[in-house]
Structure 1
Amino acid sequence: MTNSKPTLDTVLNHRSIRKFTQEPISEELLNTLFSAGMAGSTSGYLQSASIIRVTDKQLRYDIRRICANAQDAKEGEKYGHHYVENCAEFLIFCMDSNRHLTLLPEAQIDWTEVVLVGAVDATIIAQNLLVTAESLGLGGVYIGSVRNDIDKLSELLKLPKGIVPLFGMCLGYPDQDPAMRPRLPNSVIVSTNQYEPASKAELDAFNDTVKDYYSQLRHADMDWTSQIVNYLAKPSRPEILPYLNKQGFAKR
């Protein structure tokens, strides 16, 4: 593990990888990644997160269909998210209060704050794990689309009360070298002492940057605003709140 890249170089060169070689990740390296993930901070020392490693081929196939909204697709039809099946390792990160219920059956996990704690813990673990993986020559991509049918996913993974699958992650050795997507500048993200709204001019300038990126590198007519519209101009997975309630969360 001594040949890892410097942290700053690793973080500033992050790209999502969706095409991988067939080289497997050794058990030793995978356990190192798990340890790196768990070394991150945890709210209240509750350690409110778990990782499910999906190795079963049929299960990966079924999860891919959820991610690609292909549950009704016929056998043989083409659909996306091939990397869910083809990556060396597919992980699902969950918020986890099931362990707390085991030790304290009357634990009040139904407060909305507990959802935030679990989501933050899972995200810290995942980002620690991914940065470590990238520093060691691996690549990965987050898969939020596992929530396209969270009830079906829960059924497939046999999740008990107190567990919520938040996102997946594909990991493997990269077989592509994609360009980095633009990020909002620090001047838009960082405020001092009080929140400073971004100006329309700053957002328009970033919109143009994103439009140029898609036009030149992906030959697509897209910008940042169009992606916001695609995500936020319609109901966004309205079944999530009922699912959280069913699992014991966010009732008050």
Structure 2
Amino acid sequence: MDSITPTMPGQAEALALRYGPDAVPPAGPWSDAIALLLGHRSVRAYRPDAPPAGTLETLVAAAQSAATSSNLQTWSVVAVSDPAVRAQLATIAGGQKHIEQCPLFLVWLADLSRLGRIADAEGRTLEGLPYLETFLVASIDAALAAQNAVVAAESLGLSTVYIGALRNDVEAVARLLRLPPGAAGVFGLCVGYAEPAATGEVKPRLPQSAVLHRETYGIGDERAQRAAYDGLMGAFSRRNEMQADTWTERVLARIASIRSLRGRDRLKPALRALGFPLR
């Protein structure tokens, strides 16, 4: 299938879709790239059509063009095509069938194993390797790389959705993908052409006044901002036949109990078992 160039909304429309009509920030510089970013939406239903040959390599090239701390390049990615493995990954992720459905599924790794192999080959000891800071660098590197790949994919008319639920059982993911010690899957990514009915709306975000602070952090009228956003998200949920609750209720439900973490409360010992001491 040929790539599809997305239709870019105008600036006013794009900002209103992202923030709602009552919280549009002042207009500033604009470009097709910014319009593409503001039009992002997660898609959870895909057509079976494979993207053109070379798409995976193009997305990885975009990913490798992202910033990486000290050029350490502490990430890797596994493209998974085996239906049996995908089915098991979907089960780990709580039954997310789009993992099996999408034509391209990528597992992004925080990967310190490569640095460990360099040290072994050169007969050196990397004293900083076991520390939490180094794992954090690897996780940030993976996220920056993946987001570059997402932007590249969407510029080609493809849709995406991140799968953080792979962290429900990082040890099982490591076994399935035969990861070496010092590598762990931090999230997955579905890529493909969206089913027409699955594209949905742009999901509104908090107003900029809630997240943009100048010079120092200020809470300001956070309650009023949240109330307005709750109304916006409630209407969005009703329009999209989602559970009609507010953003506040979603936040509280998502973090309310250890059970809501769905196994990720055991992430620290699991990562240690995979070769990340996290000192």
Give yes or no for TM over 0.5. yes
CA distance in 2: counterparts of 1:251 and 1:142, whole angstroms: 25
1:100 corresponds to 2:115 = yes
Q: Give yes or no for contact 1:241–1:250 (8 Å, CA) kept in 2.
A: no
Match of 1:66 among 73, 81, 92: 92
**More deviation in 112-121 or 221-230?**
221-230
Match among 232, 237, 246 for residue 273 of structure 2: 246
Please list the CA deviations of residues 68-109 of structure 1 after superposition, one character each: whole Å capped at 9, or x if unmatched. Answer: 1xxxxxxxxxxx411100101000001111010001142232
Q: Return the TM-score normalized by structure 1.
A: 0.90
For residue 248 of structure 1, report the CA deviation from its aligned partner.
3.0
1:35-81 C-alpha deviation (Å, 9 max, x unpaired) = 0111010001100111010011110011111111xxxxxxxxxxx41
- SS of corresponding position for 1:164: strand
Shift of 1:3: 7.3
**Structure-2 residue corresponding to 1:231:** 254
User: What count of residue pairs does the alignment treat as equivalent?
Assistant: 241
Bigger RCO of structures 1 and 2 (CA < 8 A, at least 6 apart)? 1
2:98 equivalent in structure 1:
83
Residue 147 of structure 2 is matched in structure 1 by 127
Aligned to 1:54: 80
For the pair 1:212 / 2:212, whether they are aligned, the reply is no
In structure 2, list runs of 5 or more residues that go unmatched: 7-31
Contact 1:13 1:180 in 2 (8 A): yes
Task: Output the amino acid matched with 1:200.
Answer: R
Cα distance, 1:250 vs structure 2: 4.9
TM-score using structure 2 length: 0.82
Question: RMSD across aligned C-alpha pairs, in angstroms?
Answer: 1.8
Distance 1:59 1:2, change over 3 A: closer
> Residue 219 and residue 37 in structure 1: after superposition, are their counterparts in 2 closer, same or farther (change >3 A)?
closer
Taking a change above 3 Å as real, the CA distance of residues 2 and 92 of structure 1, as seen in their structure-2 partners, is closer
**Paired residue for 1:174?**
194
The residue type equivalent to 1:147 in the other structure is R
CA contact (8 A) 2:4 2:157 kept: no
